[in-house]
């Protein structure tokens, strides 16, 4: 049984202040723990029911983490979980060091002011699906280790590098004429008529304001997903949906 003090300590990682302070984030649920155990992420602690521990003995042994497992009842886990459905396992994993070297080969997704944790999580999952290995976030994007973001990645967070940097400085230091595609609602070249380069950057702006004026000046290719309705409804697409459509077009380039 978890003590009240343990429950209080564990629960504080719902807040970014404590996640950043201790370099730990929450991973919950059987599917997510399966992904965590298959990754290179370092595990701090796992709180799990006896049933989950028994079912995963071989993986626990392979990872040599027997000393990091704490048995907990479902009642205990329900006191710390953020999930709405019954949960058998809750873990704290260590945040990895972000890579600081830009790889000019391949597609990089650059996110400017994404605020919704579900959108960020879905974009990470999309990047994983399309084998896009790097996402760069502005410093005002939602925290990648927000539990809602982590959960919505469905495990893709363990395979995609996500970095938070000052976008202006990053863009100013790119090679001259490096292709930077900016997704805008109207006024850009149709993605269905555009010739894309795979070694490039795709900029996706915030859900409510799009790409900021500060970042727009660095974009050398404004692109638009054309709207086929003629009555100007709906006004825009969800950021993650737009990302999926555009990535698919870029990567089909021969």
Contact present, 43 and 93 (Cβ < 8 Å)? yes
What pLDDT score does 249 carry?
95
Secondary structure element (H or E) that encloses residue 134, with its range = strand 134-137
Laid out side by side, the sheet with 189-190 consists of 161-164, 134-137, 107-112, 200-205, 180-183, 221-224, 189-190
pLDDT at residue 105, rounded to an integer: 85
CB burial readout 188-206, b (16+ within 10 A) else e: beebeebebeeebbbbbbb
Distance between CA atoms of residues 168 and 185, nearest Å: 22
The fold of the 107-251 domain, in CATH, is: Alpha/beta knot (3.40.1280)
Identify the three-state secondary structure at position 193: coil
Strands 221-224 and 180-183: what pairing?
Answer: parallel
Please give the C-alpha separations between residue 27 and each of 24, 68, 144, in angstroms, as whole numbers.
Answer: 10, 14, 12
> What is the structure's pLDDT at 103?
73
**Residue 9: which H helix or E strand, with range?**
helix 4-11
| pLDDT string in tens for the chain (254-residue length) | 788 898 899 999 999 999 999 999 999 999 999 999 999 999 999 999 999 999 999 999 999 999 999 999 999 998 998 887 768 999 999 999 876 667 778 999 999 999 999 999 999 999 999 999 899 999 999 999 999 999 999 999 999 999 999 999 999 999 889 999 999 988 899 999 999 999 999 999 998 889 999 999 999 999 999 988 777 677 778 899 999 999 999 998 65
For the chain, the domains span: 4-94, 107-251
pLDDT at 97: 84
Task: Please give the Cα distance from 246 to 248 (Å, whole number).
Answer: 5
Q: Which CATH class is domain 4-94?
A: alpha beta
Q: Shortest CA distance to 114 belongs to which of 90, 84, 137, 146?
A: 137
Q: State phi, psi for 194 to the nearest 5 degrees.
A: -85, 140
β-sheet with 69-71: strand ranges across: 24-28, 89-94, 43-48, 69-71
> Which residues, other chains included, contact 29 with Cβ-Cβ below 8 Å and sequence gap of 6+?
83, 87, 88, 89, 151
The helix-helix angle for 117-129 and 239-251 (nearest 10°) equals 20
203, two tokens? 């900029």
- For residue 100, the model assigns a pLDDT of 64
């Amino acid at each position: 049984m978890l003590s009240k003090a343990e429950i209080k300590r564990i629960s504080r990682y719902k807040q970014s202040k404590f996640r950043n302070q201790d370099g730990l984030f929450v991973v919950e649920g059987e599917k997510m723990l399966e992904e965590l155990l298959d990754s290179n992420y370092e595990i701090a602690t796992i709180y799990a029911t006896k049933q989950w521990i028994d079912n995963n003995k071989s993986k626990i042994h392979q990872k040599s983490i027997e000393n990091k497992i704490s048995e907990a009842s479902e009642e205990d886990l329900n006191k710390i979980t953020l999930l709405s459905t019954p949960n058998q396992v809750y873990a704290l994993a260590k945040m990895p060091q972000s890579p600081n070297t830009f790889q000019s080969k391949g597609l990089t997704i650059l996110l400017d002011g994404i605020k919704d944790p579900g959108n960020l999580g879905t974009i990470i999952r999309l990047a994983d699906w399309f084998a896009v290995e790097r996402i760069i976030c502005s410093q005002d994007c939602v925290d990648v280790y927000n539990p809602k973001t982590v959960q919505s990645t469905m495990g893709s967070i363990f395979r995609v590098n996500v970095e938070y940097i000052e976008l202006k400085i990053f863009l100013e230091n790119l090679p001259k004429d490096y292709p930077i595609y900016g997704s805008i609602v109207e006024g850009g070249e149709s993605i269905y008529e555009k010739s894309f380069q795979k070694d490039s950057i795709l900029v996706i702006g915030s859900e409510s304001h799009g790409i900021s004026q500060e970042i727009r000046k660095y974009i050398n290719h404004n692109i638009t997903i054309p709207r086929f309705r003629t009555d100007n409804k709906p006004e825009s697409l969800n950021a993650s949906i737009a990302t999926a459509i555009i990535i698919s077009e870029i990567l089909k380039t021969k």
